[in-house]
Homo-oligomer: A and B are copies of this chain.
Amino acid sequence: MRFTSEASSDGVCEQLFTLGEIPGVLWTPEGAVGTRPLIVMGHGGGQHKLAPGIQAHARRFVAECDVAVVAVDVLGHGDRPRDEEFDRLATEEQARVEAGEELAPLLAGFQEFVARPTVTEWQVVLDAVQQLEYVGAGPVGYWGLSLGCGLGVPFVAAEPRVRAAVLGLCGAALVSAEDAAGITVPVEFLVQWDDERVPRDQSLALFDAFASVEKTLHANPGKHGEIPGFELDSTLRFFSRHLA
């Protein structure tokens, strides 16, 4: 794990790093010492580790919950080289979602090509970050919407260190049913009631599929990207409750 830059503002330290080929960013409280909870964030499709929504959430998680937060660029995103196969699969999937088509065959390819490698990458990142003295092996949370949910579902299902997850803006057709049923930790699941990209019944079906005893669905009016600001307050309290 090689740190390439470091800057601090408002009590939050932001360090860019690379781990092998993976470019990432770690946010921690300025002057942090000792073990603390860690939140892994997965960005949306076409976004990257420093997208405004990711950064704004990460800074509030650190400032208000005294946690560490890590995000990396997903294959084909941010500072990673363009990948034609990824672009082709993503474009196809988006077109089929918008057309309301059967996604299963495409999904299998997407899972194979993106989700499985991403789960492995995020586990390697988690290993490395938890080695740092000022992060350590504390409880882990996951936050990811849209593509960050599609990749987060197999990650949370596979990774026993994750104790709580905020997911959403994603439907049952976009993840494997086995992965969804493999999630047993508390989940806060965000649905946009007028989502132009994810059919409402697909969102409800994904929420239904999680095996978690504690899961809570929050639905608000508006399109895919229009989550109201008060949901971030709710997310902060959710992680405070489960990662303390």
Tell me the A residues contacting B by CB distance below 8 Å: 191, 193, 204, 207-208, 213-221, 228, 230, 233-234, 237, 241
Contacts and interface: CB of A to CB of B under 8 A. Distances in A.
Contacts of A213: 221
Q: How many copies does the complex hold?
A: 2
Contacts of A217: 191, 193, 217-220
A191 B191 CA distance: 14
- For the complex of A and B, the 9 pairs showing the least CB-CB separation, nearest first, are A217-B219, A216-B220, A218-B218, A216-B218, A215-B221, A230-B241, A216-B219, A217-B218, A234-B234
Nearest to A212: B221
Contacts of A220: 214-217
Contacts of A221: 213-215
Which of A207, A216, A233, A237 lies at the interface centre, i.e. has the most chain B CB atoms within 10 A of its CB? A216
Nearest to A221: B215
A163 to B, nearest CB: 16
Contacts of A218: 216-218
A217 B219 CA distance: 5
Contacts of A215: 220-221
Nearest to A216: B220
25 contacts: A191-B217, A193-B208, A193-B217, A204-B204, A207-B219, A213-B221, A214-B220, A214-B221, A214-B228, A215-B220, A215-B221, A216-B218, A216-B219, A216-B220, A216-B228, A216-B230, A217-B217, A217-B218, A217-B219, A217-B220, A218-B218, A219-B219, A230-B241, A233-B237, A234-B234
A168 to B, nearest CB: 13
A232 to B, nearest CB: 13
A218 to B, nearest CB: 6
A221 to B, nearest CB: 6
A234 B193 CA distance: 20
Nearest to A207: B219
Nearest to A213: B221
Contacts of A214: 220-221, 228
A3 to B, nearest CB: 38
A215 B233 CA distance: 16
